[in-house]
Structure 1
């Protein structure tokens, strides 16, 4: 079951339901997906069961909705400050060749970088057995709902940014219930847009490099994540692909279990505030930046994977520069 949201010509939100390969049907009784999720929590029933009892309305071609840029982010919060964007890095094994190379380095290096140490910790303790808690991953913050770009919208880099870098991943989508328990709706395609040049300059600038907009959707896949997800990431320029590469995700291709990554996010009471929405990015091993590609304003990112619905497409641009005097704090 795939869920999404669109905006009607009149400006209202419509929740859409579809099975992969079929049309997207409106759920006229649903105010928003957030409202449905909170209703399911209050009634203590699965979201899918609640939705199956709702009447279905007009049908739409999902690809046409994407071409017309009518998709909204599939889950939003009435107050964007209560939607949190975060993620974990160094979580993926990459290709078999890359994995073997990494393992070789782990055996050979005596003076390892912090990144290599973190990667090794994930390999050794990221998938604990029997419900135990594993090693904590690298974690970063990307902002709140004000940093969320709708599918089809532009990802806007600040003028001081040094790189327009896509990161094709899956994100977990969560709502926190009144009892502070996080509830997972499902998983969605995501672009964890980042500044890799800034990160490369000094690893302690990672926090700066991640404060960029992000996008996810257009559809959320309810239920568990398949263990082996194989997608494609492309960059289009003037409607022609300039770079294309497969990406692998899902637990088979990761050094951490999803449950371990979830635990180390929600173990903080700060992230268990009733009613909040969380979009958590699980990482990737595939970047055009690693292949020497320089993304330009106007390029389009396209991320797709079977079973996750319509491809996620976003253009990219750069915000106008601001004079330092305009943003300098003033004394009251």
Structure 2
């Protein structure tokens, strides 16, 4: 099934196909200024239609090959990220996986908002953590990508993989603070898979400290690992018209397997988190960067 990526090269937007090897050249197709890949995918039906639409687009766009030694001149982009980051909403569900489900679960898992499009971080970019975080953990997840059609209704465009970094310690301390716990950056892979969400995606997370592995653990995700019917879960979420807007791109993280927190490990400032989705040939790494404590002066300014 088709996998595509978007990038900038020579000060112009390009699109490529497949997941390139690190030492391989890139074959790119230059997009026109008025090309709207997200809108194109929102107008299509199933996976075959999405693949056919992309193939038809590329057939009429000039191709260029970037040698391996010049790949540093190519800047990858999060899949379908709009020109205005405010037109992208990053959100997710928690406690979705079978391994985390106890008796008496609700018929729809809790949903949260992480932020707008500017909190998405590509491989190699640091993931920011509030300085007063209690206990942070990585969460290797499938990320579903939806685009609002001409009527604003979110339409499935494809999926990728990401790291929903979370201050799980804050949530464990106070379950009502889930919304705060999720306000860390989100890692995302640039490869958009145009087929249905995977039934199974397996791999390993390795956390490095001072250049050496400090913790590692396997994970299993995908629709078979999720307690809920994912299609019904998304239909119910997007039944809310407040989420409808033409052209809005939704990145929905659908939950994670166990993490380093459950293994008793606590990531720290400067650690590097490598997620290897072995089943799909996707690997991405992010350093962790603790920032200043959450808060600021907004409230204090009221008394001036």
Which bin holds the TM-score, normalised by the shorter protein? 0.7 to 0.9
- Following TM superposition, by how much is the alpha carbon of 1:304 offset from its aligned partner in structure 2, in angstroms? 2.2
Normalized per residue, the structure richer in strand is 2
Residue 27 in structure 1 maps to residue 29 in structure 2 = yes
Shift of 1:311: 0.9
Which blocks of at least 5 consecutive residues in structure 1 are unaligned? 107-116, 122-134
Q: Distance in 1 between matches of 2:296 and 2:41?
A: 47
Residue 90 (1) aligns with residue 95 (2): yes
Spell out, residue by residue over 1:97-148, the C-alpha distance to the aligned partner (whole angstroms, 9 max, x if none): x87xx5xxx4xxxxxxxxxx32xx4xxxxxxxxxxxxx22211111111322
Describe the shift of the 1:91–1:323 C-alpha distance in structure 2 as closer, same or farther (beyond 3 A).
closer
Shift in CA distance, 321/184, structure 1 to aligned 2, threshold 3 Å: same
TM-score in terms of structure 1 length: 0.79
Indicate conservation of the 8 Å contact 1:218/1:309, yes or no: no
CA deviation after TM superposition for structure 1 residue 90, in Å: 1.3
Q: Could you tell me which of 143, 159, 164 is aligned with 1:187?
A: 159
Distance 2:284 2:69 in 1: 11
TM normalised by structure 2 equals 0.85
**2:88/2:116 contact within 8 Å kept:** yes
State the partner residue of 2:147. 175
> Is 1:282 the counterpart of 2:254 in the alignment?
yes
Question: Higher helix proportion, which one?
Answer: 1
Match of 1:2 in 2: 3
Alignment of 1:263-282 (within 5 A): 263-282=235-254
**For each residue in 1:246-265, what CA deviation from the matched residue of structure 2 results, as whole angstroms up to 9, or x when unmatched?**
11111221101210221122
Which stretch of structure 1 is more off in the superposition, 268-277 or 71-80? 71-80
The counterpart of 2:175, out of the listed 183, 199, 203, is: 203
* Structure 1 residues 204 and 43: CA distance shift in structure 2, 3 A: closer
User: How many pairs align?
Assistant: 296
